[in-house]
Structure 1
Amino acid sequence: MELVYRSTRNAQETATASMAILKGLANEGGLFVPDTIPAFDKSLEELSKMDYREVAYQVMKLMLTDFTEEELRHCINSAYDSKFDTKEIAPLVHKAGAYYLELFHGATIAFKDMALSILPYLLTTSAKKNDVKNEIVILTATSGDTGKAALAGFADVPGTKIIVFYPKHGVSPIQEKQMVTQKGDNTCVIGITGNFDDAQTGVKKMFSDKELNEYLASKGYQFSSANSINIGRLVPQMVYYVYAYTRLVANGEIKAGDKINVVVPTGNFGNILAAFYAKQMGLPINKFICASNENKVLYDFFRTGTYDRKREFILTTSPSMDILISSNLERLIYRIAGNDAEKNKALMQALNGKGAYTITDDMKKQLADFYGNYASEAETAATIKRVYESDQYIMDTHTAVAASVYDKYVKETGDTTPTVIASTASPYKFTRSVMNAIDSAYDKQSDFELVDELNKLSGVKVPQAIEDIRQAEVRHDIVCDKEDMLAEVKKFLNI
């Protein structure tokens, strides 16, 4: 049976999976969500005997129902290949009382690779399926990792161009160097003098500008998104939670059917939402532990039922989570509003206008599976140091936020359910912050000297992604005000 995708803001707007992937964002700024989430048609025991690619097929075939088996397997096999530096694709490592799901073994050493390695294949396949003749312009805002992973995925892909906006002073030096050295004639990287929310708002505004989209079409272009608002991003992220669970079964750590907890360092809410969707498919997840940094808008939401973006924006050492408007939360709000597009739309309009909304008590009750907390900068650094000293395991700042929040959860609840922590980036991506946490004396060294020091401490080989940018030339040096984002898009497209 073909799965229907529907807009969170207009019940009448529907799409097939491939069309939802192509469009990225629904009209009126809505997001595409599946009408239903189908249950697994293989047992957890059967899935535990499969490798990553086969698990990916078994999950994605249920969600992307208008793709043929041949099309889907081609996308999966093309994505999860030697670009990853381990055959497991997403290894599970038991350290410090939890299972760390290492999602950073792809080309750009961050979890975004897990979905953005496959998105170009899903998108170009979707274009062929829908007889699209326009050139597809990927328009993306990034808080640090999506940008590079999307650029790497779409560089020199025929029939596409990619434009990435990032906050000029809101990413790590390594993240910025990865983006601004990106090769590919179809790539464009632009820093903005604002924060991530400014970049994301600007991109959404262009997507929902009907006149602009008509003008683009007249010039042979159409927008699509590589952000986690695209269901072509979200569906592949469901896979690694299923894979992690089935590895625990395969390794005899749990029995099929036993519950686990998942802890996710959360900014835009896509990663933890993918785990929530996996539970709807039949994955036995007990608690979704939503970890925030000092930009704790989600912690406050789960505590009070009010989402309020009217607050100071704080630059932290976990910049990919420096977000005050968590776009993917809208998909969860739509669901707990009874899949009521009008109700959801009113809440999103309140967020856009007044800067806040409050859900009903009935909606709040449906969030019982979620636990929210946050880690301060000092707690994040202390967690990196503690786990290094106890287990000789070095984690990045975002993973440390998650580990710190998990410690708080266990202390509060006494819950000892086996727990998977999403480890979302290599420590090499945030070397200065990581090394300073271990010993502040490291701060005197340059970024690349710190890379070598991290290599000595961890015994983990310096990733190719880091070696590649040591001497790479800067190819993208545009910086603009947030008001000038559209002008820069037009300039790049020569329209």
Structure 2
Amino acid sequence: MVTFYQSTRDKSNKKAASQAILQGLAEDGGLFVPVEFPKVDLDFKKLKNASYQEVAELVLKAFFDDFSADEIKLMVTKAYGEKFDSPEIAPLKNLGNHYILELFHGETIAFKDMALSILPHLMTQAAKKNGVTNEIIILTATSGDTGKAAMAGFADVPQTKIIVFYPKGGVSHIQEQQMLTQKGANVHVVGIDGNFDQAQTAVKEMFNNKSLHDQLLKNHQQFSSANSMNIGRLIPQVAYYIYAYAQLVKTGQITDGEKINFSVPTGNFGNILAAYYAKKLGLPVGQLICASNKNNVLTDFFKTGLYDKNREFYVTSSPSMDILVSSNLERLIFELTDESDDETLTLLTALSAEGHYQISKKMMSKLQDFIADWASEEEISKEINETFENENYVLDPHTAVANYVYHQIQPKEKTVVVSTASPYKFPKVVLEGLQKSGTDLSEKIDDFAAVKSLEKLSGIPLPKAVLGLEKAEILHHTVVPVQEMQKEVEKYLGLK
């Protein structure tokens, strides 16, 4: 059985997996979701001894079954190898009464590597499979981590160009330095005078702009996306939830069939949605804990059913979560409406036009899998401090959010906190927490001095991603207003 994908805004718009991956976003502005979820044999008597690569193959073969088993095996082998500094790819650590799933062992030290290591292989193979000769233009907005991971994956990949927009002043200095020093003849990085939501909205508008689409086709080019709106980015993330469960079974921490929770730092809703998809495959999951920072629009949504982006936007110490429009929530909304494309479109149109929507009581009743809370800046810093003092473990600010929320909820089942970035990605914030909760180093020390102090204090070896970054040549200098993003794309691509 071939798994087809349909748009959340027009169910008649169906694509095979390779076509959905190539396109990224549906023509109608919707997101692609499986028409039917595949059946996967989650036999943990076998899976407990499986490598990460074998689990990834299992997941990808089920969801992307218009690729051959040999094609998937080759892509997985290329994606999950020497680029990761741990043979386990996603190691699981015991931390007091719960566990930490470390997803930052790839070359850009953030969880985005888990999917963006394989997406370029999926996309180029999909282009061959569908006879596409156009140049694939990867157009994406980033709140800090997707951009670098996507550029690292697509740099100098034939038949592709990648354009990344990020909020200038809205990411950490390390994140920005990683992006601005990215090599690759096909890479273009652009800062915007605005926030991530504005960047993401403008990117979506370009995807849906028919005139721009026609210009691209005349230039033998077509858009695709590298962020989690692309089903090719989302599905590979399902694998690490299954792998984490298998490792807990293997080490005897849980029995096969025992439910566990996942606490996930959440911004654009892709990472926690992947956990929900794992549960839909049959993974024994109790609750999915949606952990937010001060931009707590999702916390309010899960508690009240009201999604309201009409609120103050905060730049926080966990910038990858500084998001008020969580794009992947649309996939869940589609499911809550019993897959009504009309109802989904109505709700998302209201969000765009009025800035809010309210779901029905019937839809609310289907959210029992989720529980949500948030952490303030002071609570994040305190969590970093206390975790280091009590467990001798260093959290980055995003993981600290999920760890704090886990402690607030105190679920009965065993819980895995999903760690989305290395502490070296946000050294100043982490150092402030470690030295003394609430200490402000912003005017006293830069990120690279903080890196050295953090290494000395924590004893954690510096990852390759940070070594040499301070003195790396800045290759990208462009900054534009939000309203000139499309003009910048047209200029870079040589469109008339």
Query: Equivalents in 1 of 2:376, 2:441: separation in Å?
Result: 21
Taking structure 2 as the reference length, the TM-score comes to: 0.98
Which residue is equivalent to 2:434? Answer: 438
In the TM superposition, residue 39 of structure 1 has moved relative to its aligned partner by 2.8
Which residue is equivalent to 2:283? Answer: 283
**How do 1:390-405 residues align onto structure 2 when only pairs under 5 Å count?**
390-405=390-405
Query: Equivalents in 2 of 1:476, 1:409: separation in Å?
Result: 43
Alignment length (residue pairs): 491
Query: Equivalents in 2 of 1:447, 1:169: separation in Å?
Result: 14
Query: Equivalents in 1 of 2:117, 2:72: separation in Å?
Result: 13
Query: Equivalents in 1 of 2:430, 2:289: separation in Å?
Result: 23
Q: Is the 8 A contact 1:188 1:476 kept in 2?
A: yes
Taking structure 1 as the reference length, the TM-score comes to: 0.98
Which residue is equivalent to 2:143? Answer: 143
In the TM superposition, residue 423 of structure 1 has moved relative to its aligned partner by 0.1
Which residue is equivalent to 2:132? Answer: 132
Matched, 1:425 2:431: no
Q: Judging changes above 3 Å, is the alpha-carbon distance between structure 1 residues 441 and 15 closer, same or farther for their aligned structure 2 residues? A: closer
In the TM superposition, residue 445 of structure 1 has moved relative to its aligned partner by 2.7
Query: Equivalents in 2 of 1:457, 1:86: separation in Å?
Result: 22
In the TM superposition, residue 212 of structure 1 has moved relative to its aligned partner by 0.9
Q: Is the 8 A contact 2:336 2:363 kept in 1?
A: yes
Aligned with 1:469: secondary structure? coil
Which residue is equivalent to 1:464? Answer: 464
Query: Equivalents in 2 of 1:166, 1:58: separation in Å?
Result: 34
What are the Cα deviations for residues 156-197 of structure 1, in whole angstroms up to 9, with x where unaligned?
000000000000010000000000010001000000000000
Which residue is equivalent to 2:174? Answer: 174
Q: Is the 8 A contact 2:42 2:283 kept in 1?
A: no
In the TM superposition, residue 394 of structure 1 has moved relative to its aligned partner by 0.4
Q: Is the 8 A contact 2:116 2:153 kept in 1?
A: yes
In the TM superposition, residue 416 of structure 1 has moved relative to its aligned partner by 2.5
**How do 1:352-371 residues align onto structure 2 when only pairs under 5 Å count?**
352-371=352-371
In the TM superposition, residue 393 of structure 1 has moved relative to its aligned partner by 0.4
Q: What are the ranges of 5 or more consecutive residues in structure 2 without an aligned counterpart?
A: none
Aligned with 1:347: secondary structure? helix
What are the Cα deviations for residues 375-430 of structure 1, in whole angstroms up to 9, with x where unaligned?
000000000000000111001000000011111111xxxx3211111100000000
Matched, 1:192 2:195: no
Which residue is equivalent to 2:73? Answer: 73
Choose between structure 1 and 2: higher helix proportion.
Answer: 1
What are the Cα deviations for residues 419-454 of structure 1, in whole angstroms up to 9, with x where unaligned?
111100000000001101122275523321211111
In the TM superposition, residue 468 of structure 1 has moved relative to its aligned partner by 3.3
Task: Report the residue type matching 2:391 in the other structure.
Answer: D
Matched, 1:48 2:44: no
Which residue is equivalent to 1:272? Answer: 272
What are the Cα deviations for residues 141-166 of structure 1, in whole angstroms up to 9, with x where unaligned?
00000000000000000000000000
Query: Equivalents in 2 of 1:7, 1:388: separation in Å?
Result: 45
What are the Cα deviations for residues 84-111 of structure 1, in whole angstroms up to 9, with x where unaligned?
0010000000113211000000000000
What are the Cα deviations for residues 108-133 of structure 1, in whole angstroms up to 9, with x where unaligned?
00000000000000000000000000
Q: Is the 8 A contact 2:53 2:77 kept in 1?
A: yes
Q: Is the 8 A contact 1:96 1:387 kept in 2?
A: no
Aligned with 1:164: secondary structure? strand
Q: Is the 8 A contact 1:6 1:33 kept in 2?
A: yes
Q: Is the 8 A contact 2:291 2:405 kept in 1?
A: yes
In the TM superposition, residue 41 of structure 1 has moved relative to its aligned partner by 2.2
Query: Equivalents in 1 of 2:211, 2:462: separation in Å?
Result: 47
In the TM superposition, residue 322 of structure 1 has moved relative to its aligned partner by 0.1
What are the Cα deviations for residues 184-238 of structure 1, in whole angstroms up to 9, with x where unaligned?
0100000000000000001000001112111101101000000100000111000
Which residue is equivalent to 1:114? Answer: 114
**How do 1:39-438 residues align onto structure 2 when only pairs under 5 Å count?**
39-410=39-410, 415-438=411-434
Q: What are the ranges of 5 or more consecutive residues in structure 1 without an aligned counterpart?
A: none
